[in-house]
Structure 1
Amino acid sequence: MTAEIPGAPVTTEENARPRISSFGRRLLLLSSVGAAISNLGIILLVAQVLDVEDNKEFLVFWALLFGLFGVQSGIQNEGTRATTRPSARGARVLAGGAAWGVAFAVLIAATSPLWASHMLPRSASSAVIVLVITALLYPIYITVLGALGGRGHWEWFGSTLLVEVGVRVALVFLAAGIGASLGGFEAASAAAVLTLGAILLIGRVPRRALLSRADVPLPRLLRHQALAMLSTACTAVLINGYPALVSVTNPQGSLGLPPEQSAALMGACMLAVSFTRAPIMMPLTVFVGVAISAFVGHRGSIWSAVRKPFLLLLAVGLFGGAAAWPIGPWFMRLVKPEYDLPGWYFAALTASSVLMAWLMILGAIALATNRHLLYVIGWGAASAVGAMCLLLPLHLTVTTTLSVSAGPAAGILILFAALQRRQRVQEHADVASAS
């Protein structure tokens, strides 16, 4: 009988991961496209049903909800990395997810008196309850997703995402059908996380993934997850939670317009940002887990790793920007006649989404190489620059354009320079060891 070495890789079926199949790739593509279309469809539907003031508040709630998802997605990213090469003495990833769920739920409940009535004045009480329940359960859900990715079960990963997307759409359309109020739409938007129970009930693979081991003991796993969430918190400021950032930096009346016009302009800008970035950002967000898993073993140059996706995204962004100029204003007026924005705004926002996508790819490389601090610095700089742009005494269309362009550009410069420098240092070390 051989002695078990602490920290040694698991030698059972846990690290015998299948490569992603063509069916798995199709499921991931379908789930990513479905997520993008469904989120846009939900935002569009709610904008049609609610009045201007309620719709503005729903967009803020949506940003808070998906901002929470964005922050907690660090648990998924770390779970993918930690379960790719698990340890026999590593902690169960479920323990980390459950601990963070309780922590987030307590934090939101305790701090809600400081922000709820200001950001969500029409639905503060019900919205806080929804956010607390979601904060408790969502870490368990993404723990399953992270472990499915780390173990190579991409078919289940894609299927689980499809189920969540389908349930969210069904619940929101049901809310619209029964004439739900603002609070009803908020609850419907978040309730899809409850599908976790059904997924675990019917699937042996997700249940086993939830019980997967990480590569480190629980204290280190929690620290790694905290760093990963600090990283994704910086990401969420400019992506998932961006409408909430716009609301905070431009309180009602600060635009020099009557309240109703101010709400219409803010709502229109929030929708424009969501519509123009979703075609690129939503699929890329879903594929971050795949990217992290792929970059773990990457040995080439940074440019060789990013050249093809960078050029592809640039082509998509330029084509999309040209198309968005004439289509954007027309489409926005179809949503609500009050939402009147110029064509250049849609073109600029669409083109700027390329910068955000590039930043996400470089961030995935930083996470894959376990450089969480670099990720935080890069995305933190992007978020800080983006927030400062929103505080400029200019029209909201100008400040938001500057924010989503200059912020990501700053993060790209920092991440690319640091990753390139690390590559040169590693090459010199390899040469020295070989000689």
Structure 2
Amino acid sequence: MSTPAAADPAPAGPVGSGATTTKGSAAGMRALTLATLFAAASGYVVMLVAGRALGPVDYPLFATYWGAFFALGGVANGLMQEGTRAVRAARTAGADHASGQAPPPAPANRRVRLLPAGLVLGLVLAAGVAASWPAWPSLGLPTFAGLGVAIMAVGICGFTLQAATAGALSGTERWGLYAVLLTVDAALRLAVAGVAWAVGGSGLGFALATVAGTVTWALLVALIPAVRAALASSLDVGARRFWRNTGTAMLASAGTSALVTGFPVFVTATVRASDPTPLVGAVILAITLTRAPLLVPLTSFQSAIIVHFVERRARGVRALAAPLAAVTAVGVAGAGAAWLVGPWLIRVLFGAEFVLPGAVLAALTAASVGTAALMVTGNAALAFDRHLLYNAGWWLAVVAAAVLLVAVPAPLDDRSAIALLAGPGLGVVLHVGGILRGTR
């Protein structure tokens, strides 16, 4: 695994310049795109393998375990987001100082290192998982109580260390190595799932597959010097400010997890007597399928988006125009495709019992633009060092979406689409308005 380090596009100094760096960065982003596609595809394959191995009785338990782990991992991603911002901002400040445009950073900014910070946070989250063990049977996870809890606790600690590593690689724009991180993580998860299926398909085997990729950070740190160099990067804030920013980002990430990973739970919790049972399952499946084309790439590219906005802070709210236009265009195109081929595709892949008209699939796909736009504006607020604004926008969206699911007098499919578009839309308005006021 030493080859990626040699080809790493990140510059040796505070920032890169010249054609070589631009060419290397473009190659790294291409690699990151391919890694994202592979990670997304491997996740679907793991879910498919688990479904066939565990059967309809045990599969829901695994799906809940999988969702709980990645929802908690989404909270830990606040460390990756703040790490990306802090490292990139420090490098930009270093470049400004070198060119005589700014004073040198304060010495206190060198007191935090991302890997020790990731270990501290990982141990705290792991302790929280372990403390939750008595509640697992009542949450419908009796199969995983005990050893399954221990597996998740160890896994979430590794996930947090991986988030620290991803933040360092993103902040130093080592996109090629970030692509390696994503690829190895997904490959390990897929390999362990295959082994679990081959040896009998136990639920605990797939629990191991869920967390298997979280050792990737250790492999990269041990084998690639450039990863260790990235983790030694200085941050633009001292310890107190760093932990305050990270805590705020994690709180907002919890909102992200609630709105993205947890939205099907909201749907189930707000089902009315007038909603047919087959419709509930079809709507939850459709929400998962229609949001993936936009949200999976955006989730993987969050660090790149933060770097994009950090480098364009002087433009203020104008920097949002192109990214928001891009996600809107993709959403509209996806809605058209969902209308035309969506019903046929769902029927072929999942069976005739999952029936939704093309108009509903198009509406749910178009509604995904709301959450995608919220990701963009939230990352902009974070890059502009507006952490409280970032947090407020996400939680406004969560509360608004939940209220709309309860209050809108419409069938389940219609009110789900409304909640997914309008709830995040309110968060977007708050983010944009806050950034605009800050710029003025």
Partner of 1:210: 231
Structure 2 residues without counterparts, runs of 5 or longer: 1-10, 92-104
Asked if residue 353 in structure 1 is aligned to residue 368 in structure 2, the reply is yes
What is the correspondence of 1:3-152 to structure 2 with a 5 Å cutoff? 15-17=14-16, 21-84=25-88, 85=90, 88-89=107-108, 90=110, 91-114=112-135, 117-152=138-173
Aligned-pair CA distance for 1:173? 3.0
Query: After alignment, is 223-232 or 342-351 more displaced?
Result: 342-351
Partner of 1:421: 437
Aligned-pair CA distance for 1:49? 4.2
Q: Classify the secondary structure of the residue corresponding to 1:15.
A: coil
Please tell me the root mean square deviation across aligned C-alpha atoms, in Å. Answer: 2.8
Q: Aligned in 2, Cα 1:44/1:257: closer, same or farther, shift over 3 Å?
A: farther
What is the correspondence of 1:216-231 to structure 2 with a 5 Å cutoff? 216-231=237-252
Alignment counterpart, residue 332 of structure 1, candidates 321, 340, 346: 346
- Between the aligned partners of 1:220 and 1:133, the Cα distance in structure 2 is 28
Aligned-pair CA distance for 1:211? 3.1
Q: Aligned in 2, Cα 1:125/1:341: closer, same or farther, shift over 3 Å?
A: farther
Q: Classify the secondary structure of the residue corresponding to 1:184.
A: helix
Q: Is the 8 A contact 1:231 1:376 kept in 2?
A: yes
Partner of 1:285: 299
Partner of 1:6: none
Once the two structures are superposed, residues 190-244 of structure 1 have per-residue CA deviations (whole angstroms, 9 ceiling, x without a partner) of 2111222222221111122233332233333222211111121111111234345
Aligned-pair CA distance for 1:396? 4.2
Partner of 2:321: 307
Q: Aligned pairs, how many?
A: 406
Partner of 2:388: 373
Q: Classify the secondary structure of the residue corresponding to 1:285.
A: helix
Aligned-pair CA distance for 1:155? 1.3
Partner of 1:383: 398
Aligned-pair CA distance for 1:119? 4.2
Q: What TM-score, normalized to structure 2?
A: 0.83
Q: Is the 8 A contact 2:136 2:145 kept in 1?
A: no
Q: Is the 8 A contact 1:151 1:209 kept in 2?
A: yes
Once the two structures are superposed, residues 165-185 of structure 1 have per-residue CA deviations (whole angstroms, 9 ceiling, x without a partner) of 222222223333333133322
Q: Percent identity?
A: 33
Aligned-pair CA distance for 1:138? 1.1
Aligned-pair CA distance for 1:286? 1.7
Asked if residue 155 in structure 1 is aligned to residue 176 in structure 2, the reply is yes
Q: Is the 8 A contact 2:122 2:158 kept in 1?
A: yes
Q: What TM-score, normalized to structure 1?
A: 0.84
Aligned-pair CA distance for 1:315? 2.3
- Between the aligned partners of 1:411 and 1:350, the Cα distance in structure 2 is 19
- Between the aligned partners of 1:342 and 1:406, the Cα distance in structure 2 is 22
Partner of 1:298: 312
Structure 1 residues without counterparts, runs of 5 or longer: 1-11, 426-435
- Between the aligned partners of 2:375 and 2:238, the Cα distance in structure 1 is 28
- Between the aligned partners of 2:400 and 2:163, the Cα distance in structure 1 is 29
Q: Aligned in 2, Cα 1:339/1:225: closer, same or farther, shift over 3 Å?
A: farther
Asked if residue 406 in structure 1 is aligned to residue 410 in structure 2, the reply is no
